[in-house]
Amino acid sequence: MAKVDFAIGIGGEAGQGIATPGDILARIFARRGLNLNAYNAYQSIIRGGHTFLTIRVSDGPVRNMGDKIDILIPLNQDTMNRHLKLLKSGACVLFDNEKIKPGDAADGVQVCPLPIKQLTAGNKLAANTVAIAATLQMLGVEFEGLQDALTRIFKRKGDAVVAENVGFARAGYDYAAANFKSFPFKAPNLDKGLAVLTGNQATALGGIAAGVKFYAAYPMSPSTGVLMYMASHARQLGIMVRQVEDEIGVMNMVIGAAHAGCRAMCATSGGGFALMTEAIGMAGMIETPVVCVDVQRAGPATGVPTKTEQGDLWQILGAGQGDYPRIIVAPTDQKDLFKTIPELFNLCDRYQCPGLVLADLLISEGTASVDPADLNFRAEIDRGEIIFPNGNGNSDNPFGGYNDMAYLRYKLTKSGISPRAVPGTPGHIHIAATDEHDEDGTLISDEFTNPAKRRLMVEKRARKMETVVTQIAPPKLVGPENAAVTLVGWGSTEGTIREAVEKLAAEEGIVANQLHIKWIVPFHTDEITRVLSRSKKVIIIENNYSGQFARYLRSETGIAAHGHIRKYDGEPFMPHHIVNSVKEQLAGKTQLSVPTHEIYV
């Protein structure tokens, strides 16, 4: 059980400087070995609006942003007005008392006014530095950690700027020591440095671990972080990174690179994914392995660009016209994103089909601490049956010289997998055709659409999927087998649902268990059916309006859930949303709960 579990909320206008203090705090805590999860609720505005960053820290596992704010740092009046009323006894609020009025705080909330002007000799931009310094003092963190972080951040701007900021921090730190009560909890130092990364960074790093040599994208929130990370590391790692004219170009370019032999990847959000879908079908038809990450945001159309949702499931299931094999996975957290991308590349290479990843803003822009030992860049790389001109590759290269006629790119095999030769290989000339084709790539439309050949090719491609399901881990039931209720979710909600299960037991005496589904296609129909048919009550939790996953589950297993918890306001679930909804449903009040988000960001 965690001894320390607190959350800091920093809010203000976009442009007021929330990301940097957030980053400083995250790194200071992670360097002490504390786990953390950060979520930035923001608007699609470059300056202005309201931005609220929550950093939750614990010496135990942290799987989500949590339910409460213990330390509030409002940088403007708006943030104070919105969030102060949510603080409970034991919490505190630190603010510039010359600029912001506190309003009524609940009993037991420590109100900590900071005379920013006085502490910073009139430099109001330093309010956030002063506030985080005061916070760290109250958490018992030595000043040196903050000094190091500030030095690292401002080094580029010269020694004078470093000294100035360290001075502001010192003033805030000392002021807190003299005037405020320390927190009853401290941020311990566990002597174990953790890494801090966003899901978008984890996606990029997963691609790097998988051996991605070609990355293309069109900037689109919330997936842009992957492009930025890839672009900034491209040269040192020898990766070709392209920003392309549109997502149609992106996916076609990625397919061209993959066809020529690279591991190639792209990431986008729902609208961009919509543009890519024709090309994804082409990858299925010409059997070229590519990986595409859809970082879901609230839709449809341009939707709410800076808000999260799990609303693209049916789009991804239906991506590309026709009927063709593809693999779809919804990783559960940042660490899982990192691990899943190389695994997916191996599957795509082995089965020569597109691989699609359903992430979302919550997981991709969210920050988490990860044990560096879990960032294994030596993941197994399996490129399947591939033939390279330089002799690399896993497949025999039986055709020397120019005996091209013997090579059948789309050979009808029992497994459905045909050895793939990349262009440039002598003796294996073929055409990869998006029209239906024969074993050697010849268009069957050139033969008056031969129905017998069409059927054989459809079946060949489909056969590949018969064994994929044996290569991926089935979902595991977490919690007591004989529970009153089984909570089913998919993708990024795993950590929040897990915490809700724990809270239901600890606080409400309700025994729940959890079945979380990560691999969407292929689907572990047998295992899932077996588990759920034994459940007393099944409740499906998802971040969309219509219950896309509930519908999919029913289509695959015939199981209709007893209850549904759905959220489609753009903000992610918090554990208490699920706890309260489960209570409501177990009491028989409703079969559909739509929790209300208390904080409007």
Partner 1 sequence: MSTAIETAPAPVVTSAAQLIKDSYKGKIHPDWCPGCGDFSVLTALQTALFELGLKPHQVLVISGIGCSSNLPGFINTYGMHTLHGRSLAVATGAKLANHELKVICTGGDGDGYGIGGNHFVHTMRRNIDLTYIVMDNQIYGLTTGQCSPTSVKGMKTKSTPHGNVENPINPLPMAIVGGATYVARGFSGKQKHLVELLKGAIMHKGFSLVDVFSPCVTYNKDNTYQWFNPRVKILEDQGHDPTDFHKAIDKGYMWGEEIPIGLLWKRTDLPSLEELEPVLDDGGPLAFRQLGITDEQANALIKELL
Residue 292 DSSP symbol: E
Which of 319/433 has CB closer to partner 1? 433
Least separation in angstroms between CB 400 and partner 1: 10
Residue 507 DSSP symbol: I
Which residue carries 């909320």 as its tokens?
9
Per CB under 8 A, 350 contacts partner 1: no
Residues 375, 456, 458, 478: which binds partner 1 (CB under 8 A)? 375
Single-letter code of the amino acid located at 558:
G
Task: Tell me which residues in 162-201 interact with partner 1 (CB under 8 A).
Answer: 193-197, 201
CA distance 336 to 57: 20
Per CB under 8 A, 156 contacts partner 1: no
Per CB under 8 A, the segment of 27-35, 498-506, 571-579, 586-594 that binds partner 1 is 27-35
Residue 139 DSSP symbol: T
Residue 569: Cβ within 10 Å count: 17
Which of 26/327 has CB closer to partner 1? 26
**Distance, C-alpha 416 to centroid of its chain:** 32
Task: Tell me which residues in 267-326 interact with partner 1 (CB under 8 A).
Answer: 278-279, 282, 286
Least separation in angstroms between CB 372 and partner 1: 5
Secondary element (H or E) of residue 230: helix 224-237
Per CB under 8 A, 208 contacts partner 1: yes
User: Do 374 and 298 touch, CB atoms closer than 8 A?
Assistant: no
Least separation in angstroms between CB 237 and partner 1: 6
Residues 65, 131, 258, 579: which binds partner 1 (CB under 8 A)? 258
Per CB under 8 A, the segment of 11-19, 93-101, 324-332, 431-439 that binds partner 1 is 431-439
Contacts of 13 (CB under 8 A, 6+ apart): 47, 48, 49, 50, 51, 75, 76, 78
Number of residues near partner 1 (by CB under 8 A): 86
Least separation in angstroms between CB 245 and partner 1: 4
Least separation in angstroms between CB 143 and partner 1: 20
Which of 237/592 has CB closer to partner 1? 237
Burial 421-460 (b: 16+ CB within 10 A, else e): bbeebebbbbebbeebbbbbbbebeeeeeeeebeebbeeb
Q: Is 185 helix (H, G, I), strand (E, B) or coil?
A: coil
Per CB under 8 A, 431 contacts partner 1: yes
Per CB under 8 A, 524 contacts partner 1: no
- Whether residue 184 is preceded by a cis peptide bond, meaning omega within 30 degrees of 0, is no
Contacts of 486 (CB under 8 A, 6+ apart): 477, 512, 513, 514, 515, 531, 532, 535, 536, 537, 538, 539
Task: Tell me which residues in 210-229 interact with partner 1 (CB under 8 A).
Answer: 210-211, 213-214, 216
CA distance 26 to 5: 14
Per CB under 8 A, 257 contacts partner 1: yes
Least separation in angstroms between CB 192 and partner 1: 11
Q: Is 266 helix (H, G, I), strand (E, B) or coil?
A: strand
Least separation in angstroms between CB 213 and partner 1: 5
x/- binding map, residues 432-461, to partner 1, per CB under 8 A? xxxx----xxxx--xxx-x-----------
Which of 115/256 has CB closer to partner 1? 256
Task: Tell me which residues in 230-249 interact with partner 1 (CB under 8 A).
Answer: 233-240, 242, 244-246, 248-249
Per CB under 8 A, 113 contacts partner 1: no
